[in-house]
A and B are shown apart, each in its own frame.
Chain A
């Protein structure tokens, strides 16, 4: 699963959101690292709707413009949960190995003296 897709599903996991809300939420979730653009967002949403991971929740007219809200489907919840578990498992392995590495191979004291 691509990072943008994961972040979009994560944004929708909290509540249904419209397009611009998803963009700002993704920016916040990623700590400012990911700036989703409208083209990329709606391509992803089109694919997610085809795969039945997201669905249209409701529509509104705001300032004369159509605003459509999207929600996560039960299937989307399962897929997001599986992907989150996978990423967490991978991250846990990486962190545990780094801990072991820190114990076995302590970093040299660069301030002075011999190792």
Chain B
């Protein structure tokens, strides 16, 4: 192989940093410029390599985020509509189907709760939640938000999110859990849902009616990613020996600060996020659907929510006590996606958001 052919091969490897569409249109042109400036080089210089890679990755990022794409629009519409529905369903399940707690002596998590004064609750949720200060506001706000979003009133939806979040946080800050407060799972679910909904509403295009219809291929990929998120989340809860050890240590430590939380518990969540990121990168490279990173981040929010909760409050509730709210939180996203796929298959059409002139 001649030196120039070897140099050209090295340059082509560097050019892989650029988006495929750019390489197809201008790859040969850039290569010609690189070869013209090469002089007597046998391989690209470090400065050249850094310049090409940095420029290529920057172009990928810029193209992914700057140009509106119908798939992004569809994905964000899904999130903006599904997020409040998800929280509403989770809240309704929490009220309708209370979760019975095992006796303290059979649950390592409750070991630490014996230090609190008062009786240990025998169940989570139920009709008594309707009398909890702030719970009705939290769920009511989500119901209003869901209606507003489905009507396509995006700016009003953002205002509702802000108001509901403010009331929710005020209520949660004023009451404690035992006996007369918002349950920890709902607290985390709500706290995680509000920023999610706000981001989706800000980024999603406006429209009179929210319509969503993924194509088969994209929908299946999204479904697989959502299922992967849920499976990894489940692996991080206290049903596994890995997490159970962390819960027991935490229950006896009296500490809820970030640094003192047991490493196995936190490491489980961090590992889940890293695995999901690697899976997303693999999907992006193999199926060339890098724009769905945003949806992956959205679907990761249950994991992130539990991680954030671990830093400020007890981590044990979400790890050791999977209530119906958790189940809705975990399984509703893939069920929504599956329903969307079936709708598309049955109707045979792709539905789009209808843009209305003027602000929503």
A interface, CB within 8 angstroms of B: 18-20, 23, 37-43, 46-47, 62, 65-68
Contacts and interface: CB of A to CB of B under 8 A. Distances in A.
A38 B26 contact: no
A62 B28 CA distance: 12
For the complex of A and B, 6 pairs with smallest distance between CB atoms: A39-B55, A65-B32, A39-B51, A19-B33, A37-B51, A39-B52
A40 B26 contact: no
Interface of B: 22, 26, 28-37, 47-48, 51-56, 58-59, 62
Contacts of B53: 39
A65 B26 CA distance: 11
Contacts of B62: 47
B35 A65 contact: yes
A58 B30 CA distance: 16
B24 to A, nearest CB: 12
15 contacts: A18-B33, A20-B37, A23-B33, A37-B48, A38-B30, A38-B37, A40-B55, A43-B55, A43-B58, A46-B59, A65-B31, A65-B35, A66-B28, A67-B29, A68-B26
A38 B52 contact: yes
Nearest to A24: B37
A65 B51 CA distance: 22
Contacts of B36: 20
A29 to B, nearest CB: 17
The secondary-structure label for the interface of chain A is: helix
A66 B51 contact: no
A111 to B, nearest CB: 44
B51 A40 contact: yes
Nearest to B50: A39
A106 B31 CA distance: 55
Contact of A38 (B22, B28, B51, B59): B51
Given A37-B48, A68-B26, A20 B55 contact: no
B37 A42 contact: no
A23 B51 CA distance: 14
Given A19-B33, A23-B33, A65-B28, 13 more contacts: A18-B33, A19-B32, A20-B32, A23-B37, A38-B48, A38-B52, A39-B51, A39-B52, A42-B30, A46-B22, A62-B32, A65-B32, A68-B26
Contacts of B56: 39
Most buried by A among B26, B32, B53: B32
